[in-house]
Each structure stands twice: as C-alpha cells, then as structure tokens.
Chain A
C-alpha cells in the first residue's frame, strides 16, 4: 500500500520501518519540518545533544554496544560540519551510522545561502557513501538504501543530505521491502579452497597465533562464539587489537592480552616469533605492526577480512580470505572437524612454554604507592569493583585509554567502546551517553583523562537531562599525558603546551550540571570513592588525582619492531631514532 506524505514525515516513517528506537540530534532551520514530525510521534526517542559532534559519538556508542546502526539528525551548514569528526571516527572504526542532515532548499543550493555548506562534498571522504536527495519521491528509498549500505559488508557511516523543500513537498512513501538493494551485496562466504589451505597450515603449525580485531565484533555475537570454539578446538594462543577486546574473554586460557604499541610483551613477542599468523578481522594497522620490514619475519600469514582492500594493503599475506568473520570461521571449523584435524601438539605445547616464559616478565607490573594514586592501580581497582556488574566501558584518547585496555578485563564483545583508528579526544563522554541510552540499567563508565574529557564536557547536560547515570572516571594528571610522554622520550623533555592549566573544579562542575562529583587523591580512599560513584543513582564525575608523570608501558617505540619493546622507565633513554621520530 503506497501512501502520500511529506518528505519530513517520510523520514520518521522510514526510521520507524528500519526499527529505529533512538536518534541523537540537534534541530536547526533546515531540519525544522523533520523536528515537527518528531514532535508528533512517540515511537522514536530523540536525544537532544549539546553539540553535533556529541550526537555522532553517542550514536557510535549506541551502535557499538548494540550491534544496531546509530542514527543522527543535524541541521545544514555548521550542524553538518560539526558532524565531520564523528563521521571520520566511525569510518576508521567501521561503525554503522546513518546521519541525516538538513540542507538549504534545492533552489538555493550553490548561492552561498545562510547555513549552506557543500555537505556531500565535505563528507564524501569521511563516509562510506552519501546522497543529496533532490526529489521527495526518492527520499524514502534513499534512506532505506542508506541503512543497507551502512550495515552491509564492512560497516560504516553514511549521510543523507535533505534540502528543506524536499522535506515540505509530498510524494508516495516507499517501504523497505520495495527497495532494490541487490546491487550492493558484499560477499560473505569465504573461498573454501583458501579456508582448507588455512586448515592444512593450522595442522602443521608449530608456533601459531590468532590475531583478532574489531571485525570479529562487527560480524556479530556469533563470530565471537565461533572464535572461542576455534581457540578451544586448536589450543592456539589468542591476541587482539584495541578494537577487538572482548571478542575472546580475558579470563580465557588462551588469552595473551592486547598487542601493539602498548600491547603486552608476551602478545607482541608471540606475534614476532610465530610461524603461522591468522589475522581474523584486523587490518595490520601501524599501531600493530611497528616497523614493517621486521614485522613477524618468519611467519606464514592468513588474513580474513570482509573488505578486499584491507588485504595486502600493508602486509603481503599468503592466504587471503575475503568474507565475513562469522561465515568464514563457521566454514573453517567445519573443515577442521570433517578432516578430523589435529594440531602439532608437541610443538604447540613447546610454543606455549615459550609464551609462559615471556609472560613471566610480568610486563604490566608497576611500582605502586601508598601516598599517590597510580593510574594503573586506579584501573585495577575499578576493574575489581565492577567485574560482576553488567558493565560497559568507554574511553577518551591517550594514556588512560591504553591503561584501560591493559588493566580492564573484557569477557564479552560490545562492552568496550573506544576511538581506535582516528584517536578522537572527546569521544568517551558522549559515547557513554549513547551506550547508556541503549542499556538503561547497565553500569556505563567512561574512563577519561582530564584533557580529553573537557573536549565534549557539554554533553553532561544531555546525561542529566535524560537521567542517564553515566560514570565519568577522570584520571586527572593535569597533563596531556601521552603528548607529555612523547615529549619526554622524543623531544628532550621540552613539555610544549602539554599541561592542563586552569582546570575546572570537577565537583563544582558536576554540581553546576546538576549531578554529583567527588575528588579522590588518597589511595586508601580510592575504593570508597569508586563505590560511591557506582552506588550513586545518576551521572557522577569522579576526579581521580593520579601520579602526574607516569608513563605508559610496555611500549614499542615508533619505527621499531615488536621484539624491541620497552618495559619500563630505565630503558627509555634515546630509544626513538630520527627515522622513528617522524612517525606519530
């Protein structure tokens, strides 16, 4: 049954037909007709943000914690340009988002009208795809296609730009099932010959490793389950990128911890020394590989990825498998079982012995203090006091983010939301708001640094307005900690602009927003402070004054291979050479 309606109503109707329950947005002149329709319905909750960047990060938090796409509505011009950072963040981390932006009416496009920007031009390189809809008759179809593109294949953000006259005009509504999406159908099943080849390699491998990434989580809960089965069936060690934490449980017996620049010693050494590397949904990012020429020099590499352009982009692999992680792992396990495959268990046992030796280094050890809170200790206590909760963690970007990845333990996928690819300071607070919208009864904690947190602190207003009890765990060192660390290691301890002067009083700030805050500086009071934060029925800012000059270790200095990790302060002098210094 086709129905005549305005473009603005089509937007709401299409969102409803796509199963959307929550949108994050900010009204403005060019989206007034859409907001008028939002006013006249109750199926979709609109979360009024304080800045459009916050809306996009909220939608990311919502999407990553639910597996469903996040939806954002912004107005034309500045509304759209404010969304650009979030779009780029979602593109690099492969998060499905649909951003609907208002635009000046079609007859004014190109005239430099008030709040006009070339939104599709500006967002073309930071979306998976985008559309400018000039005809109301195409609007519903385009929105349905946008959902399809955002969630199919490698997920990503899309944007639909809707001029105001298109919102006012009327035409026939098109339902999702009437829309032909057959043209864009990325392949899901992996090549069975390549999968069989990988199984043969797994049977022979003496020093295998499963190198997992965000693709496992994006593939859905089944992929994480199958990964666990694969690890169980083979006994192979499992490591993960920052993006993949939780796809294999931290308590699992095959778990090595995170790898990469601030990854665990045993994980990086195992990557370096392995003879079979099985990359499952990761992308050989520069944070992972270190110096390419010396990256895992003696291994045969297999790469499972849904995006063909990820394969052989930086690292040449012997066994490429293009497909969805869950589909490929299912086939892989079937081949493994039907062949009655067995691992080379004496060799693998020897490999584990070597790994245990590396683990014996205890690379996450740190010197604790009775008088000052060490950030690592703060996170260990946070983990201990929340591990039995229904817990979701978001982070900002910097030292605290790496410590959170090292010291918090994740048992399930979709529980860890962090800006991995783009490294967006200001991500964590709005992301925590988005997560809490999706999971009202869960404990949602944003592990933050003082500098990052300030970047989108206006969103505390959103948290208070919507009674979202997000916990802001600010590890306050009055520094831009990671910048300071690099200046210490690389720039002769000249700390250019890397301290936080004139920080607000976070307790008063919390009160000003209408929530609660507390400061803690004594290690003996830390547990009580964390408990108060958790017990408080509402948003809470915990200002944890931590050691100001703590550095984040272990660390692979830029331009170095995995086996040249630094474990602590004593090893840091002059470690980054001039060719490494040029890297970020």
Chain B
C-alpha cells in the first residue's frame, strides 16, 4: 500500500466533516444568550465556540438584571444553517444558559456598536477628518492640537466604513465594544 498521501480536503463527506455536504453558504447570525451571572459563565460560552471550532466575529457581555443575576451575551457568529442550528443547540444545553435567541431569524433587529477612533493629523487632513466625522454624526470626545478621539455609534458596517475613511487621514488607534442587539417592537 502506498505511503499516506492525503491532500487537504480529501476527507470531506466523512463522519468528521460536520459541515453540510451540500456546501451551503455561510451566514452571519446575531445570537442573544441570557445566562446566569456566575463565575466562569463567559469562559463556558467561549470555550464551547473554540472547543467545537465555531467562529466568533463579535462578542459583548454585561449584567442586565442585577437582582436576578442575569447577564446577556451577544455573539455574532458565522456558519452554514446546519452549523448555526448546532451552535444554538450546544449553547442551549449549557446548564447556566437560560435562553438562546437568534435575532437574525426572529425578525427585525436593532444592532449597535460603539467605537472610539484616535486620528492624528494637521492641516487639511485634520479638517477633512472633522468634516467626515460630522457626516457620520460622530462626536469628538477628546482633542489636542494634533489629534481627535471620535466616538461613533452604529451598526458594524457603519463603524467599518468610518474606520476605512479615517485610515488615510491619520487613524492611529481604535477601540470597539462589539455588537449589542435587541429585537424591534414587542
């Protein structure tokens, strides 16, 4: 028998390939995970994603019910529909997870991220940065003669676009919170 010569991807359609064999395209989903606010709960959720090879594109977490000890974790993840279903089922079986909501499929959703952008520059570039910030309705939250810190709230795509425009104008540092999301209406 010839020596092992296994090219990459040869083992697709095996029991080890959890992806849908029909090769469906990957979708982005925003999941809201309500958890009991106990030590290690975030590690449990993140460990599930890394341990089972799922993606995390964005993650936010904060306590939302102090008396009820509940935190809300918002995760933006990617996968084929089958993988997304599996992620939700795996999250659901964690003992301290109260509920998993797939905001992407459950109807219209408000999605917001906050970003802080430090832009260094003088002269025309500095004026242009300020002008674009006004168009984006970003706030100036810090200023020196050579720099601004802009604060911008919006969907991920808006922050991405803002960053792209600021880069040639002297963007030197950026901090982003990750996405917070709520379903619209009742």
Contacts and interface: CB of A to CB of B under 8 A. Distances in A.
Interface of A: 120-121, 124-125, 128-129, 132, 149, 153-154, 183-184, 285-286, 289-293, 307-309, 311-314, 316, 490-492, 558-559, 574, 578-583
A314 B40 CA distance: 29
Contact of B43 (A121, A129, A291, A307): A121
B86 A313 contact: yes
A513 B43 CA distance: 45
A291 B92 contact: no
A120 B51 contact: no
Contact of A292 (B17, B43, B51, B89): B17
A121 B89 CA distance: 22
B40 A124 contact: yes
Interface string B1-30: 111111100110111111001000000000
B108 to A, nearest CB: 26
Contacts of B98: 183
A492 B1 CA distance: 6
Nearest to B51: A125
A210 to B, nearest CB: 22
Given A292-B21, A311-B89, A578 B13 contact: no
A468 B56 CA distance: 51
Given A125-B51, A490-B1, A293 B11 contact: no
17 contacts: A132-B40, A184-B95, A291-B13, A291-B14, A292-B17, A307-B93, A308-B89, A309-B86, A309-B90, A312-B85, A316-B82, A558-B14, A559-B14, A578-B2, A578-B10, A582-B6, A582-B10
Contact of B15 (A124, A307, A309, A583): A583
A149 B95 contact: yes
Interface of B: 1-7, 10-11, 13-18, 21, 36, 39-40, 43-44, 47, 51, 82, 85-86, 89-90, 92-96, 98
Contacts of A581: 4, 6
A293 B93 contact: no
Majority SS of interface residues in chain B?
loop
Given A125-B51, A308-B93, A316-B82, A292 B6 contact: no
A183 B18 CA distance: 31
Contact of A124 (B5, B6, B44): B44
Nearest to B98: A183
A169 to B, nearest CB: 19
B6 A309 contact: no
A128 B36 CA distance: 16
Contacts of A184: 95
Nearest to B48: A125
A578 B4 contact: yes
B47 A125 contact: yes
Given A120-B40, A292-B21, A128 B6 contact: no
A291 B13 CA distance: 7
A145 B95 CA distance: 11
Nearest to A290: B15
A297 B63 CA distance: 48
A75 to B, nearest CB: 21
B91 to A, nearest CB: 9
B21 A293 contact: yes
A124 B43 contact: yes
A240 to B, nearest CB: 19
Contacts of B6: 578-579, 581-582
A583 B14 CA distance: 8
Contacts of B94: 129
A557 to B, nearest CB: 12
Most chain B beta carbons < 10 A, residue from A309, A312, A316: A309
Nearest to A576: B1
A444 B16 CA distance: 36
A502 B51 CA distance: 39
Contacts of B10: 578-579, 582
Nearest to A186: B93
Contacts of A120: 40
B11 A579 contact: yes
Given A149-B95, A559-B14, 12 more contacts: A121-B43, A124-B44, A132-B39, A183-B98, A286-B15, A289-B15, A309-B90, A312-B82, A491-B4, A558-B14, A559-B11, A582-B4
Contacts of B17: 292
B44 A313 contact: no
Contacts of A559: 11, 14
Given A289-B15, A578-B4, A583-B16, A309 B92 contact: yes
6 closest A-B pairs by CB? A286-B15, A309-B89, A579-B10, A129-B95, A293-B13, A582-B11
Contacts of B44: 124
Given A121-B43, A312-B85, A292 B95 contact: no
Nearest to B4: A581
Given A313-B18, A490-B1, A578-B5, A583 B95 contact: no
Contact of B14 (A149, A154, A292): A292
A579 B4 CA distance: 9
A579 B85 contact: no
Given A129-B96, A292-B13, A308-B89, A124 B47 contact: yes
A491 B4 CA distance: 8
B1 A574 contact: yes
Most chain A beta carbons < 10 A, residue from B16, B51, B90: B16
Contacts of B18: 313-314
Contacts of B21: 292-293
B16 A286 contact: yes
Contacts of B39: 132
Most chain A beta carbons < 10 A, residue from B13, B18, B86, B95: B95
Contacts of A309: 86, 89-90, 92-93
A583 B11 CA distance: 8
A582 B13 CA distance: 13
A128 B4 contact: no
Contacts of A289: 15
A290 B15 CA distance: 6
B71 to A, nearest CB: 15
A128 B85 CA distance: 20
Nearest to B93: A309
Most chain B beta carbons < 10 A, residue from A128, A574, A580, A581: A581
A267 B93 CA distance: 32
